Each structure stands twice: as C-alpha cells, then as structure tokens.
C-alpha cells in the first residue's frame, strides 16, 4: 500500500453533518412534546434516551474518523457476518420485541436496538470491499451481478421475516448504484432491477399490510379513519405550516392527532412548525450532505474509499427522501425513519458512525 497523506476532515462535509445533527435534535425535541398528550408516554425519558444516543453517536463519529478506512476493508467479510448473526437473534423469542406488527427490535432489558441498522452499513462496507477486489472483472457475472444477488437473497430472507421490505429495497438500490459506479454492465443492472421489482410486487401481492399501503397511496380517502389516517393527518400538518410555519413548538397535529410524531411522521411535525421555508431549508441540508459526501468519494485515492463514501451517501439520502416523500403522499407509506432526526437510538448512532467513516476517507483524499 502506498503511503497516503492525512489531511484534516473535509470542512464542508463536517459542517453538513453538524448542521443536520443539531437541526435534527431541535426538531426531535419539539416533536417529543406531543408525547405529553399520550397516556403512558414520558417526554423526559424519551428525550434523555435520545440525548444519550446522540452522545454515543458523536463519540462513534470521532472514533471512526480516527480509524483508517483501509483497516475496515480487511474486516469487511467479518463485519457482514457479524451483522447477519445479530439479525439472527430476532429468531430467539425471548429477545425479539414486537411493535406495530413487525419484529425488528432486540430487547436486552436495559435497552433495545434494531439490528437491521447494522446490516445497512455492513452491506455497504462489504460491497465496497468486493468491488475493490473485483474492479477489473466486475463486468463478468460471477464477479459482479451474481455475488450481489447471493447477498441480496440472504439479506432478503432476514429482512422479509422482519416485515422490513423498505430496508431491503434501500439496501438493494444502494448496492446497485455502487456496482454501476464500479463498472457493472447496464444489462446486468436491468436484470437486478427486474428481480427487485418482482420481489416488491410479490410482497405487495402476498402481504396484506403492503397491499393496504399501496391502496391507501392510490386513494387516501379510502379508509380515512383506518389505513389512510396517518397520511391524511400528515398532509393536514404539512398544509397547516403554509409558507413560514406555526413556529417552533407550535405544532397542533403532534398532540394526539399524528401517529408516530417522533418517528415516521416527524417530518410532518417539522413542516407544520417551520412551513415551506423550513422544509426547503431541510431539503437543502440533506442535499449539501449528499454533495459533500460525494465529493469526498470522488477524491478518494482508491475504489474502496470512493464506493464507501458514495454508498453511505446514497443510503442516507435515499432513506431520508423516501420518508419525506411518504409523508407528502408522493410514495406509499413506509416505516423508514428520517435519519438524523427521527426517534431511534440505533439509527442515530449508526448514521453518525457511518459519517465518521466518510470523515476518515476525507482525511486520506487527494
């Protein structure tokens, strides 16, 4: 390995992560006030848990910013294997925690976590390492498309058991983008896309909850007090924000009207309080994050670093934009969080740790 000069963390990238983290925590605190209207909910407990996750995430950011990303490449296979093993813990009834009809959390008593979050970053690390290994042969099916399909089949089995089709789609899309950049032929991309669409179509056809989401998307008034309730309340919240919003902390919908005001629906709360202006500002922050992360990737001295940064950017932006699009009725509702903002300690820690990896890539860039 040739020596690589270290630089300070890319300032543009660091500022974008800092801005998203700070704005996200402010919006979260405001949305959390809606818990005061719910029986059995504790605003203080939720705020403290998210604060602890934020501190752990910030520490993780700087730890991974210190670890040379080249060492991560050497452990890529074992990282993916470890993430799969953690997800297999969901098959232990005493550990699996059920919520909203899905089994996506592991409950260890003092805390719970969502293992699929580890799977996302482990997949990106492994695919980047594989593309580095097979960069001159990626156009051959056994070095490009076939390994991708094998991994997706394994992860598909794990995630579909968790009723987590959305995460599977995001992982699949991120992997395809990474392989396209690595040189995957367009005919192989088409095959992968057709297989992914067939899988999604099969899930919609065979699983009532998925079919219900599509039907509600096509006609939100079909069951306004049932399946269509969340999207209707979300649209009311977003529309109520008008141009400049009701003001910080002034959301009405978060008080007992909007389901999951600190989770899936947090974007609607932010849009109600900060209006069109605030929504555009938030979109701009995510776009700045994407541009700065892609810039880090393009300046990386090797394929692994480039795909690692770009893969992380694609995953974070795709997941966040899908959340916002769902809340605006542009796509069917999903259970995806708004990264950097939604309640969920695992997602916040992982997204900051992943950002730390990008920060380290930036330190070794050209």
pLDDT digits (tens, 9 = 90+) for 195-229: 988 988 888 887 777 788 887 877 776 666 767 78
Angle at 214 between CA 232 and CA 318, to 5 degrees: 85
Please give the distance of CA 130 from its chain centroid, rounded to a whole number.
Answer: 22
Q: Could you tell me if 120 and 169 are in contact, meaning their C-beta atoms sit under 8 angstroms apart?
A: no
- Residue 41's pLDDT is what? 59
What dihedral do alpha carbons 18, 21, 23, 24 form, nearest 10°? 170
Q: Could you tell me if 258 and 233 are in contact, meaning their C-beta atoms sit under 8 angstroms apart?
A: yes
Distance in angstroms (rounded) separating the CA atoms of residues 27 and 271: 10
Distance in angstroms (rounded) separating the CA atoms of residues 13 and 181: 21
Distance in angstroms (rounded) separating the CA atoms of residues 49 and 29: 12
Mean pLDDT (the chain, rounded)? 88
Q: How confident is the model at residue 1 (pLDDT cuts 50, 70, 90)?
A: very low
365, pLDDT greater than 70? no
More confident residue, 9 or 6: 9
Distance in angstroms (rounded) separating the CA atoms of residues 138 and 144: 5
Q: Is 192 helix (H, G, I), strand (E, B) or coil?
A: helix
More confident residue, 217 or 233: 233
For the full predicted model, state whether its pTM sits above 0.75: yes
**What percent of the chain has pLDDT above 90?**
52
> Which residues, in sequence order, are CB contacts of 202 under 8 Å at separation 6+?
none
366, pLDDT greater than 80? no
Q: How many CB atoms lie within 10 A of CB 43?
A: 15
Q: Could you tell me if 354 and 312 are in contact, meaning their C-beta atoms sit under 8 angstroms apart?
A: yes
Q: Could you tell me if 97 and 103 are in contact, meaning their C-beta atoms sit under 8 angstroms apart?
A: yes
DSSP H or E run through 294: helix 266-298
Q: Could you tell me if 12 and 18 are in contact, meaning their C-beta atoms sit under 8 angstroms apart?
A: no
Distance in angstroms (rounded) separating the CA atoms of residues 235 and 366: 45
For residue 191, the number of C-alpha atoms closer than 13 Å in the C-beta half-sphere is: 11
């Amino acid at each position: 390995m040739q020596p690589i000069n270290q630089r300070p963390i890319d300032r543009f990238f660091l500022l974008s992560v800092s801005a998203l983290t700070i704005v996200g925590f402010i919006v979260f605190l405001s949305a959390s006030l809606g818990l005061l209207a719910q029986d059995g909910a504790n605003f203080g407990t939720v705020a403290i848990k998210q604060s602890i996750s934020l501190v752990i995430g910030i520490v993780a950011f700087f730890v991974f910013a210190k670890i040379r990303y080249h060492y991560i490449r050497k452990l890529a296979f074992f990282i993916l294997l470890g993430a799969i093993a953690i997800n297999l813990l969901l098959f232990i009834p005493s550990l699996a925690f059920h919520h909203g009809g899905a089994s996506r959390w592991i409950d260890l008593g003092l805390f719970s976590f969502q293992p699929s979050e580890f799977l996302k970053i482990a997949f990106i690390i492994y695919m980047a390492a594989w593309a580095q290994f097979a960069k001159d042969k990626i156009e051959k099916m056994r070095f490009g498309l076939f390994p991708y399909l094998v991994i997706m089949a394994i992860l598909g089995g794990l995630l579909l058991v968790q009723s987590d089709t959305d995460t599977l789609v995001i992982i699949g899309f991120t992997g395809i983008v990474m392989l396209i950049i690595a040189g995957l032929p367009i005919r192989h991309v088409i095959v992968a896309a057709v297989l992914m669409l067939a899988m999604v179509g099969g899930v919609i056809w065979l699983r009532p909850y998925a079919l219900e989401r599509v039907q509600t998307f096509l006609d939100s008034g079909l069951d306004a007090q049932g399946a269509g309730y969340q999207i209707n309340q979300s649209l009311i919240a977003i529309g109520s924000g008008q141009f400049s919003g009701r003001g910080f902390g002034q959301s009405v919908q978060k008080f007992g009207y909007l389901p999951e005001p600190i989770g899936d629906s947090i974007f609607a709360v932010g849009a109600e309080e900060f209006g069109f202006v605030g929504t555009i500002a938030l979109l701009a922050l995510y776009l700045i994050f994407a541009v700065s992360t892609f810039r880090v990737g393009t300046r990386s001295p090797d394929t692994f670093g480039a795909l690692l940064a770009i893969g992380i950017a694609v995953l974070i932006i795709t997941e966040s934009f899908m959340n916002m699009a769902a809340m605006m009725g542009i796509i069917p509702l999903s259970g995806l969080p708004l990264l950097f903002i939604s309640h969920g300690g695992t997602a916040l820690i992982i997204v900051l740790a992943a950002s730390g990896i990008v920060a380290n890539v930036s330190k070794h860039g050209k």
